[in-house]
């Protein structure tokens, strides 16, 4: 949802804006990121792309469809870039978001739409305490409890299950020197066998397995550790360039 007092620009509001079909679909999300980089980032600026989960698939698509962008490095964290519907979580999610998605919309609208914001806020705060999460996450969770947002989430998820099937080896091979893959030890979205397959197919690549037992959703409890790790990788890259 757009913040209060703000609106989402359309091509009629901004003549330089690129009209994107199916903006909430997977391809539309890729086009949205490409349009932002092409429109708002200076062409001479070097870019480092960091993706998490489906963001890794989007990152590879940016490399593939934006060859003119000066991307010098790309970190792919817990990468869901292949066989999503075959993963342990995918086997559960696929029937829900692909076959029963429209049935799920009914309780979402009936249960969430009538609730006042203060009731939703109370529920979110209680959930955050139970999950031992910071209250700074409240706004994001409140946003997601909007029925229209949940509908968009389910729609995007259904496309991910259907389209993220075969690994894009061609793009990976072309940009391998820029890529770092970081797989989880126990990840129900991209299990360890996906890491082993990557190591076998790209033995010269920078493909790592998490030794800290961080979960796929590291953003909930391990965001500082991951940020420090990626920062260290970037500093290491910089020191190599300087020497």
Residues with a known catalytic role: 53, 187, 216
Secondary structure letter of residue 208 according to DSSP: E
Residue 197: strand, helix, or coil:
helix
The distance between the two most distant Cα atoms of the chain, rounded to a whole number of Å, is 62
d(CA 55, CA 33): 11
Q: Strands 71-77 and 179-183: what pairing?
A: parallel
32 near 64, Cβ under 8 Å? no
Q: Tokens 């910071």 appear where? A: 134
Residues whose CB is less than 8 angstroms from the CB of residue 12 and which lie 6 or more positions away in sequence, other chains included: none
Radius of gyration from C-alpha coordinates of the chain: 20
Q: Tokens 């829900």 appear where? A: 96
CA angle 182, 71, 54 (to 5 degrees): 40
């Amino acid at each position: 949802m757009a913040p209060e007092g703000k609106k989402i620009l359309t091509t009629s509001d901004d003549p330089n804006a690129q009209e994107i079909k199916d903006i909430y679909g997977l391809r539309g999300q890729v086009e949205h990121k490409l349009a932002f980089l092409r429109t708002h980032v200076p062409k001479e600026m070097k870019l480092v792309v960091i993706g998490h989960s489906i963001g890794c698939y989007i990152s590879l698509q940016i490399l593939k469809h934006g060859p003119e962008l000066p991307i010098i490095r790309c970190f792919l964290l817990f990468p869901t870039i292949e066989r999503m519907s075959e993963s342990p979580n995918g086997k559960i999610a696929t029937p829900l978001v692909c076959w029963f998605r429209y049935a799920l919309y009914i309780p979402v609208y009936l249960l969430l739409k009538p609730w006042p914001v203060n009731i939703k806020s109370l529920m979110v705060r209680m959930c955050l305490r139970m999950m031992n999460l910071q209250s700074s996450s409240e706004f994001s969770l409140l946003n997601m409890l909007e029925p229209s947002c949940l509908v968009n989430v389910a729609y995007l998820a259904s496309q991910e299950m259907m389209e993220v099937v075969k690994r894009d080896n061609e793009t990976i091979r072309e940009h391998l020197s820029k890529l770092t893959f970081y797989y989880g030890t126990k990840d129900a979205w991209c299990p360890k066998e996906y890491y082993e397959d990557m190591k076998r197919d790209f033995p010269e690549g920078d493909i790592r397995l998490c030794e800290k037992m961080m979960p796929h959703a590291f953003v909930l409890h391990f965001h500082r550790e991951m940020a420090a790790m990626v920062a260290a990788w970037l500093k290491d890259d910089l020191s190599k360039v300087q020497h």
